[in-house]
Amino acid sequence: MTDPTTATQPAPDAAALTALLQSELAPALSDGALALDADVVAAHSADTALFCPAEGAVALVRARSTEDVQATLRFAHAHHVPVVPQGARTGISGGANAVPGCILLNLAGMDRILEVDAAEQTATVQPGVINQALKDHLREHGLAYPPDPGSVAISSIGGNVATNAGGLCCVKYGVTRDYVRQLKVVLADGSLATLGPRTAKGVAGLDLRGLFIGSEGTLGVVVEVTLRLVPQLAPPLTAVATFPSEAVAAGVVAEFMATGARPSMVEMLDGATLGMLNDYGDFGLDAGAGAMLLVQSDGSGDPASAQREVEEFARIAEEAGALDVGFTDDPADSEAMVATRRLAQPAYEKYAMAHGGGQLLDDICLPRARMAEFFERLAEVRAESGATVAVVAHAGDGNLHPAVFFDAGDPAEVARAERAFEQLMELGLALGGTITGEHGVGYLKREWLARELDPATQAMHRAVKQALDPLGILNPGKMLAALDG
Ligand SMILES: Cc1cc2nc3c(=O)[nH]c(=O)nc-3n(C[C@H](O)[C@H](O)[C@H](O)COP(=O)(O)OP(=O)(O)OC[C@H]3O[C@@H](n4cnc5c(N)ncnc54)[C@H](O)[C@@H]3O)c2cc1C
């Protein structure tokens, strides 16, 4: 396969580029925005993904303003230099990783909440605003921004838009895309475009705003976002149920959703995850269970409808053979359970560090009704690879995160783990799903995007890229790099 996103002309060599960066770019930027120190650049060169290259960046621009972003792209365009946009670098697919000869364009410092418009129920923010900081700010306005990736406390709104981030409450409240009203983006040549109206409705022109959401820094750089808000959400009722197996729990999710339920959270943790969490902290989870479901409902805004919904869940769970079902309407207890769920990733990291350091975190999304079948076939992948595979899932969305653990120092184990990781995506596609529900393609899954998209769709992707970034300078070698030419 060819790489259609590789710059068409060579960039200047490193020495010449450094001289140009100092003489041309630095004066056009805010004071101190350009860093050339190799250690500083290296420290900003990677997100959280394993097994993704991240070497070769030449410079780091810590943008302070839209003008900084425009100056950087004008420079990069003139000299054919690759640019890698970055938010908070919490990505899991290598999307924010350096590529050889690139400028890392980091937006984390553009972190101001510019406006909250009560009448429109919108917030306008710079891309570096941390998701949780926005949520906290909106509370005093009686408003809420629902999308809540597991990384809510550490990831940026710009990164959330660029990856179309999902999260725990998406099952009812949708993903980032559902809340983006207007985007300001800097294009590959440095020009500034405003995509979408700020108004509640608007059908003037093509939906280019939609094109940029989830484009992972390959089409332009998001410098301002106007987000649709909702009134503060009602406190939910929470139910927790444990099951003898993952497949039984998955079947319960499908059956519950088929009743027309609109829960605000349906999270699943398998037995391996429960064990790792217990090892990480004193949570008292039933590690003997095959799986646990954490279900929340805020009903239709009234406690009675929430109560009916969780009772319906409990009935289905008990009929399916749940080991235990419990409820709470105490907000502190609910929050503690959700907080425990959010600690799955740190618990995985602790387990990985104690078992050779290797962890590959997958992110497939399936039709809900096929999840039980996935877990039955997962047993074969576990047996064949010999690897420990733990699963957390935004199960209400069919979005599964199997994590494959292995000894990173043992080439045979690495090879088996990589094969298991691939088998999980093969299984996802075979069951009518997608290779990524929310973490994105980045570097990690670029070959897999080519396996998921049909030839006509791949050609459209390439045409869009060619139209918006003809020199191929925006995040080359990532999401679009393995599509057939
Ligand atoms: C513990 C943990 C839990 C997580 N849970 C979830 C989850 O539940 N749901 C989920 O969706 N993700 C989750 N993630 C993944 C990650 O947090 C999200 O992908 C997040 O949206 C990335 O935001 P960021 O600011 O860190 O972006 P980065 O990692 O810096 O960048 C991500 C991608 O976006 C591009 N990009 C960043 N900013 C911009 C910009 N301003 N303009 C253009 N392109 C840009 C980058 O080039 C890169 O391709 C989790 C990660 C961790 C570590």
Task: Using most ligand atoms within 8 A of CB, pick from 48, 86, 449 the residue to mutate for ligand 1.
Answer: 86
* Residue 9: predicted pLDDT: 59
- 345 Cβ inside 6 Å of ligand 1: yes
Angle between helices 344-354 and 271-280 (to 10 degrees): 80
Half-sphere exposure of 320 toward its Cβ, with a 13 Å CA cutoff? 27
Does residue 9 sit within a domain? Answer: no
User: 227 with 244, same domain?
Assistant: no
Q: What is the CATH number of the domain that holds 96?
A: 3.30.43.10
Gyration radius from the chain CA atoms: 23
- For residue 2, the model assigns a pLDDT of 38
Cα distances from 11 to residues 115, 159, 187, 325, in angstroms, run 40, 27, 19, 61
The tens place of each residue's pLDDT in the chain, 485 residues long, gives 334 444 455 678 888 999 999 999 999 999 999 999 999 999 999 999 988 999 999 999 999 999 999 999 999 999 999 999 999 999 999 999 999 999 999 999 999 999 999 999 999 999 999 999 999 999 999 999 999 999 999 999 999 999 999 999 999 999 999 999 999 999 999 999 999 999 999 999 999 999 999 999 999 999 999 999 999 999 999 999 999 999 999 999 999 999 999 999 999 999 999 999 999 999 989 989 999 999 999 998 788 999 999 999 999 999 999 999 999 888 898 899 999 999 999 999 999 999 999 999 999 999 999 999 999 999 999 998 889 999 999 999 999 999 999 999 999 999 999 999 999 999 999 999 999 999 999 999 999 999 999 999 999 999 999 999 999 999 999 999 999 65
Distance 468 CA to ligand 1 centre (A): 22
Domain count, the chain: 3
Out of 155, 213, 269, 340, mutate this one to test ligand 1's pocket (max ligand atoms within 8 Å of CB): namely: 155
Nearest ligand 1 atom to alpha carbon 107 = 41
- Whether 98 lines ligand 1, by a CB cut-off of 6 Å, is no
User: What distance in angstroms lies between residue 155's CA and the mean position of ligand 1's atoms?
Assistant: 6
How far apart, in Å, are the Cα atoms of 286 and each of 167, 216, 293, 351, 404?
A: 24, 38, 12, 18, 22
Q: Which two tokens stand for residue 79?
A: 């000299």
> Which pTM value belongs to this model?
0.95
Among protein residues, the one with the nearest Cα to ligand 1's atom 27 is 159
Residues 341, 286: one domain?
yes
- Where does a domain end: 199, 231, 263? 231
> How far, in Å, is the centroid of ligand 1 from the Cα of 222?
13
Q: Is 48 in the pocket of ligand 1 (CB under 6 A)?
A: yes
Instruction: List residues bridging with 400 in a β-sheet.
Output: 364, 393
Closest atom of ligand 1 to CA, residue 167: 8
The CATH number covering residue 346 comes to 3.40.462.40
* Domain ranges, residue 88: 14-109
**Do the domain assignments include residue 268?**
yes
Regarding whether 423 and 323 lie in a shared domain, the answer is yes
Count the residues in the chain: 485
| Closest C-alpha among 92, 148, 138, 94 to residue 116 | 138
- Domain contains 465: no
- Give the bridge partners for 200, in sequence order: none
Same domain, 101 and 118: no
Residue 94 belongs to a domain:
yes
State the distance from the centre of ligand 1 to the C-alpha of 221, rounded, in angstroms.
Answer: 14
CA–CA gap between residue 163 and residue 433 (Å, rounded): 18
Q: Which helix (H) or strand (E) holds 34?
A: strand 34-35
Q: Is the CB–ligand 1 distance for residue 439 below 6 Å?
A: yes
